[in-house]
């Protein structure tokens, strides 16, 4: 299994995942050409993709979906709520490429098992994903206001987890965003702070998670070093030694690396 965060942040998200004979994009939230260029730099031609999985309809997750699906005849997988929410932005998608799944009901792409789970966020039916193949599991959960127990269960057995570490609460509070937007981000349907990401990883450590990529960082209210240090200090508070938990921060605007599990 290979996971390659191509872009991860509040201005665009796209993750490449390969396993069990499938090669998928999780979200395509940048212009089609930008994603094509990123794919080509890791030696992947878009024609070889199995499809695009969508987490929710926000534009930082959907911007390139229509173009890529039309240009390369790619299937797009989303639940009913997300299809409804994104149709206007995505534009026409060939009927044969409109794949709809029920949230929580697992399905396969080739030999890759895909499980979706609901996430608390201000979208119609937003989800995270867990992928299993070849005895390995990777999960992706971003755009989450808070982390209920069910979410811990959903990703708790992951060998690798890409989790949101969106903002520093102080930076957000004193920053330039208008008050209603600040309230939205800090709310239960908003985004996960560095601190809450750290606390979540402490709980997930007890469930066996040992390796995480911090993603979906805010451009205005966070920076890589701060996210990493805040999460690390939460782990230390729970006596989890640095060498027992591998942390990486996903870059917002370029490829982070190739994670092989």
- Residues contributing to the site for Zn ion (CB under 5 A): 58, 60, 143
CB-based closest residue to Zn ion: 58
Q: Distance (Å, rounded) from C-alpha 7 to C-alpha 255? A: 6
Classify burial at 254, counting beta carbons within 10 Å of its beta carbon; exposed 0-12, middle 13-18, buried 19 or more: exposed
Q: Please state the closest distance from residue 161 (CB atom) to Zn ion, in A.
A: 17
For Zn ion, the closer of residues 23 and 56 by Cβ is 56
Q: Please state the closest distance from residue 69 (CB atom) to Zn ion, in A.
A: 20
Q: Please state the closest distance from residue 10 (CB atom) to Zn ion, in A.
A: 6
* Residues whose CB falls within 8 Å of the CB of residue 95, separated by 6 or more in sequence, listed in order: none
For Zn ion, the closer of residues 20 and 64 by Cβ is 64
User: Nearest to residue 10, comparing CAs of 221, 220, 248, 217?
Assistant: 217
For Zn ion, the closer of residues 143 and 168 by Cβ is 143
Classify burial at 180, counting beta carbons within 10 Å of its beta carbon; exposed 0-12, middle 13-18, buried 19 or more: exposed
Q: Please state the closest distance from residue 59 (CB atom) to Zn ion, in A.
A: 9
For the chain, the C-alpha Rg in angstroms (whole number) is 17
For Zn ion, the closer of residues 58 and 63 by Cβ is 58
């Amino acid at each position: 299994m290979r996971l390659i965060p191509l872009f991860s942040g509040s201005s665009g998200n796209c993750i490449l995942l390969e396993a069990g004979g499938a090669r998928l994009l999780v979200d395509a939230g940048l212009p089609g050409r930008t994603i094509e260029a990123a794919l080509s730099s890791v030696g992947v031609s878009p024609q070889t993709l199995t499809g695009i999985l969508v987490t929710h309809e926000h534009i930082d997750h959907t911007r390139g979906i229509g173009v890529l699906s039309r240009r390369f005849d790619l299937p797009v997988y989303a639940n009913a709520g997300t299809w409804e929410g994104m149709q206007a932005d995505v534009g026409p998608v060939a009927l044969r490429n409109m794949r709809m799944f029920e949230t929580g009901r697992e399905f396969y792409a080739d030999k890759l098992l895909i499980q979706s789970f609901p996430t608390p966020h201000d979208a119609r039916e937003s989800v995270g994903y867990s992928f299993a193949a070849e005895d390995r599991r990777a999960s992706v959960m971003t755009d989450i206001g808070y982390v209920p127990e069910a979410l811990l269960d959903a990703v708790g057995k992951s060998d690798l987890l890409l989790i949101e570490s969106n903002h520093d609460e102080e930076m957000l509070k004193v920053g330039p965003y208008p008050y209603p937007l600040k309230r939205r981000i800090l709310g239960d349907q908003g985004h996960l702070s560095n601190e809450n990401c750290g606390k979540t990883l402490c709980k997930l450590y007890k469930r066996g998670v040992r390796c995480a990529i911090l993603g979906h960082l805010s451009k205005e209210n966070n920076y890589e070093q701060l996210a990493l240090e805040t999460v690390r200090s939460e782990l230390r508070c729970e006596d989890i030694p640095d060498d027992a938990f591998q942390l990486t921060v996903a870059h917002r605007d370029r490829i982070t690396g190739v994670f092989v599990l």
